[in-house]
Structure 1
Amino acid sequence: MRPDFASLALFIAIAETRSITKAAQASHLALAAASRRISQLEEQLGARLLYRTARGVELTPAGSALLAHARTLMEQVAHMRADLSDYVKGGKGVVRVQANTSALAQFVPEDLASFARAFPAVRVSLEERRSSEIVQSVLSGATDVGIVVEGAPVHGLQCFAYRGDRLVVVLPRRYPLRGKRVAFARLLDHDFVGLESDTALSRLLTEHALAEQKSLRLRVQVKSFDVVARMIQARLGIGVLPETAARPFARALGLRLVPLSDPWAERRMLLCVRDYQQLPAIARQLVDHLLPK
């Protein structure tokens, strides 16, 4: 037989009280039954766990090692029961979602808000990640649903078209660059403010700069869209951001948005899962809700 949760919980109580008698009382067990459980636990593990003394009990080295593992295991069991209790109470549950920065800044908040109104009993655990990290999380089963920018290596996943966005040049209001639309190649003699180099947007801009046989003149690199906008307001350079995400910053900071004329500036976002048919019902409901009707 393997150790059971009740015996491990009893062992933890004994370790904390240093008394089999007190732990038995707290566990609503007779003293003889508690002693028998500990003896069985020692037989199952093949190691002595307790020293019996006149003042109570002390942990052996094996007992100290077991205590650390038992506490970790019981914490995991508590988390498991908390998650599963949602289902027991009537069709509830948790859906794990990871999304990239562009999706979170533009579409995901409103989409999840409408899902929450339609399915108020379902909780969504949402994390922001890079597209490449999201793909690995979906493949490994660490998340149920991933939202990435097209171009991420999604081999092995089922992917559906989610949303599209358009990239725009973000400029200070009186910056000397004119036109209702502008080609990316015209920007490459200017200083840029950009995101960190491991983001999908940074890789995209670097790739197309190299296609023009130029390098991107990155003067500042930061972590978020709002900081990019503030650096542009301070005239440290120009930037390229998704239009929907940039529009609130443009109004607040007095910036100008000019659409890129390049075809690749129209991007698609993908909703990815490992296997739609194998998803829990509530995760399928979320996927169905997010996909364009």
Structure 2
Amino acid sequence: MDFDIKDMQLFLKIADTGSLTQGAKERARSLSAASARLKLLESQLGTKLFYREPGGLTLTSSGEMLLAHAKNIIREYELTRKKFSAKQAHGTSRLRILANATSIAEIVPDILVSMLKRDGNVSVDVFPRNAKQAIRGILDFDSDLALITGDEDLCGLNSINFFTDHISVLFPWEHELSSAQAPRLSDIVKYPLLGIYGSTLTDFIREHVEASRLHAEFKILIDSFDPIARLAEANAGVAIIPESVAQRLCQKYRTKALRINEAWAFRERRAVFGDIDFLSFHARTFLNILIEKYFQIDANSVALEDMIEK
């Protein structure tokens, strides 16, 4: 047989997404190349690995069997790679980060600027993922670390809780909400909502709307905050977003923001990663800068292990 690590990684992505197209995209391969590699893998194993159905690809019994073996293969490969990378003074591998929309917009850029000042040769890939996807990515060794929001099950991963972000409502100047000193959710859902597509924050809001027995209309879902602010500025709706994001947007657009007056209206921000012994040099550097920025301490004066949530 003549398949390699990349074939196993591709197979796992296709199995995870149920889509050859998405699997190819996430492994940075063309659709035709991914299809050819999958067909070759099936040919070498002498069996079909997926059922091709209208709703996507699902694993056959042989595919399920390979899935378990492929995870073990990738796990051992990644542990070996990270072990040797961690021993290098300056690891040459790329730093891979999974992060939600808020982190990509408000947190990651500043830390990368500081990293580049320390080492101009560092290479980084940042992929947008919600919390559940990010945790799965760390468990599957698809990433070195993740920045998430909320209280998702971390499945035994390590985490550093570095910031509490309150939730606010963003609206245009002279909007009716301007007169509310401390708007409640019931005040906000009277208006069309703007949100981030596929975001755990959007799911979080929906859960609390349902729990409060209210009705909310998400008029527009889009993939980043600046378009949301432009839409809010044009009175297309109001947006429930992190206060840290709202403060920046209000300086750029003709919008205002007020903190939501609800007991649940805050989100904990965490950096999540696997075994600390296998962290690459660049992953440790990223975490050290994050600690310095949000805890206002010298990272050299505290062990990374001491910052991990118990």
Normalising by the smaller structure, the TM-score range is: 0.5 to 0.7
What is the match of residue 195 of structure 1? Answer: 196
Q: Provide, for residues 191-235 of structure 1, a one-character-per-residue CA deviation record: whole Å limited to 9, x for no partner.
A: 212222x31110111011011111222222222211211221221
Alignment of 1:1-293 (within 5 A): 91-93=90-92, 94-177=94-177, 178-196=179-197, 198-291=198-291, 292=295, 293=297
Q: Displacement, 1:255?
A: 0.8
What is the match of residue 12 of structure 2? Answer: none
Q: Provide, for residues 65-101 of structure 1, a one-character-per-residue CA deviation record: whole Å limited to 9, x for no partner.
A: xxxxxxxxxxxxxxxxxx99x99x9724232111111
Question: Which amino acid counterpart does residue 91 of structure 1 have in structure 2?
Answer: H
What is the match of residue 65 of structure 1? Answer: none
Other structure's SS at 1:264 match: coil
Larger Cα-atom Rg: 1
Distance 2:249 2:122 in 1: 32
Distance 1:233 1:183 in 2: 21
Q: Displacement, 1:189?
A: 2.2
Question: Which amino acid counterpart does residue 282 of structure 1 have in structure 2?
Answer: H
Q: Displacement, 1:175?
A: 0.8
Question: Which amino acid counterpart does residue 194 of structure 2 have in structure 1?
Answer: V
Q: Displacement, 1:269?
A: 0.8
Question: Which amino acid counterpart does residue 110 of structure 1 have in structure 2?
Answer: D
TM-score by length of 2: 0.61
CA contact (8 A) 2:100 2:148 kept: yes
TM-score by length of 1: 0.65
My pick for the range that moved more, 122-131 or 132-141, is: 122-131
Q: CA RMSD in A?
A: 2.7
Q: Provide, for residues 136-158 of structure 1, a one-character-per-residue CA deviation record: whole Å limited to 9, x for no partner.
A: 11110010011111223321311
Question: Which amino acid counterpart does residue 196 of structure 2 have in structure 1?
Answer: L
Distance 2:165 2:139 in 1: 25
Q: What percent identity do the matched residue pairs reach?
A: 20
Paired residues, what number? Answer: 211
Question: Which amino acid counterpart does residue 220 of structure 1 have in structure 2?
Answer: I
Unaligned 5+ runs, structure 1: 4-82
Q: In 2 relative to 1, CA 231–125 (structure 1 residues): closer, same or farther, beyond 3 Å? A: same
Other structure's SS at 1:96 match: strand
CA contact (8 A) 2:90 2:281 kept: no
Question: Which amino acid counterpart does residue 179 of structure 1 have in structure 2?
Answer: A
Question: Which amino acid counterpart does residue 267 of structure 1 have in structure 2?
Answer: R
CA contact (8 A) 2:159 2:272 kept: yes
Unaligned 5+ runs, structure 2: 3-80, 298-310
Q: Provide, for residues 74-129 of structure 1, a one-character-per-residue CA deviation record: whole Å limited to 9, x for no partner.
A: xxxxxxxxx99x99x97242321111111121122112211222333432222222
Q: Provide, for residues 227-265 of structure 1, a one-character-per-residue CA deviation record: whole Å limited to 9, x for no partner.
A: 211221221211111222223332332111111122322
Distance 1:90 1:194 in 2: 43
CA contact (8 A) 1:139 1:156 kept: no
